[in-house]
Structure 1
Amino acid sequence: MTAGNNGASTPEDDDPFGYLYADGQANGAQPPSGGYGYPNSVNRVRPVGTRQYGAPGAGAPQAPQQQGVYGQPSAHYAAPETLPGGAPSAHASHGGGGGRGRGPNTKGLLIGAIAVVAAVVIGIGIAMIGGDDDDKGDNQADSTPTQSQDSGEPTPSASKGDEDGEKAELPTIDAKTLSLQGGAATASDIKGAKADGGVYVAGFNQVGAKVTWTVDGIKEAGTYRLYARYGIPGVDADATLVVNGKAATRPLNMKNFGGTPKDDWEKGWQTTWANVNLTEGTNTIEVACNEGNQCNANLDQFWITEETGS
């Protein structure tokens, strides 16, 4: 302030409303136009945020600027937790991570799901492999000797390897070379027999009739199939099978598998087979009409194959 009565003696005595009073007007108070109303009074009116505390270089600290827009952080603002000794953020993660809480561990969940799927697939694969093995075991053929019929006509010969690796013909026989007993005799008046000259064994339909085949040339002991071609008049028949003096527990089945007409001998030619156990070398096979057998049949050919042969 300059000497003279240009206003209050101290800034604290400045009255911004002095121009409203008589003593203020007497002292030259005027309505404010940038100051407090007294001439040459200190100009303290400034826009908010622009007042400087001290001149540049005076060493006084500069006040931080006010933020310009509500809700937007000031460029000069620093979070308390970033200052030395500042308080930790209330949102800090207890796990030591950033300010935000971590979400679910999706990577771990994905790995767990993949592991479960892999275990299920492996289990299914093992179950399927085991199921295939069980099926194979259930479908294996029964090795028990049985009698059945093949409506076709198997080739009357088969091969079995000998010691030199060569294939040897297994025995076959026609009716006219069989040994006949008990009223059995050869005939050729019914067509359809495949034996040499169309000759077959007739007269087999009586108890005591029997045909015998002496089988030579068996290279190896084991189970074989004995095939027999026979003719019936459309009616089932059977006979007793004896191998090396031992009767089979089941008869040689000569059923009407083909369903041929009754009393039609010419259309009644069919084929049956039975498993037989043969020894190495020579064996004797008999087909006999015994008590309890239905023997109304003609006999055409016999042949032997390996057990798995057709």
Structure 2
Amino acid sequence: MTPGNNGPSTPEDDDPFGYLYADGQARGAQPPAGGYGYPNSVSRVRTVGERQYGQQAPAAAPYGQVPQQQGAQGAYGRTTAHYAAPETFPGGAPTAQQPPAGGSGSGGRGRGPNTKGLLIGAIAVVAAVVVGIGVVMMNGNSDDKKKDQSGTAPTQSQQSSTPSPSSSESGDAEVKLPTIDAKALRLGGTATLASDVQGAQSDGGIYVANLNHVGSSVTWTVNGIPEDGAYTLFTRYSTAGEAQSMTLTVNGKPFGNKLNLDNFAHAADGDFTKGWTKTFAWPTLTKGTNTITLSCEAGDKCNVLLDQFWLKKGQVKN
């Protein structure tokens, strides 16, 4: 073999483009009869616009010849068959988008989105938020009112038959405690029981009289005090004219002040029927049994009729 010719049946002999070169032409290479490309290629060179939809393609022209155009160019302003838009031919592309056959909405059922349900849900959420804000504001206002009330001292009206207290008032809760009528008291000195003057609330209208002598007294032995602490001793009595005051002794020790027995009913001198009223003191008692004594001592004014005693827990006025 030589460099110029490697013998028959070499790859160079199978070159489809050998006819383009001088040595290939010397060996007898010919262009392909079926058009450009590899042998038996189906490629065909066509003039732009030559193919028509729905018609049989024209036969390929012999190699080297230009295929003749079918028909003549249309008149000015008209589209020729070679350049007609694809949608003008049968089976061509649609000219515009068509809505889905099933209508709007999911699943092609002809229904749109459930805007009514969404609107109702949104309104419900807004309403819930508004109600929640209202509840929070109401609770906040009630808490503020409670704080204001807890920091404000209660206002009490003064009655003409109520004495001025000699100690500070306490807010302890009320507990039901013993009471006693005049006829159950232990009398001392010249003190006696009577019922001539109307208005006593003790059983049978009985009260204690003749206390306006030094050494006269009444004593109450109180049982059932629940615990040590401050208590209020109420006394119901009658006096007329001038204000009175007597000595109060608790568990053998004189109370700090005289028991104020003023004429709070403003009864005329000697009119004990209209002089019934009440007073109070705030002694300190111990748990269990206590002894309370009201006596007429030197310097006291004791012209009173004594009706009842009763106790309340804490320092109260009523």
TM range (shorter): 0.3 to 0.5
Task: Tell me the TM-score normalized by structure 1.
Answer: 0.47
Task: Tell me the TM-score normalized by structure 2.
Answer: 0.46
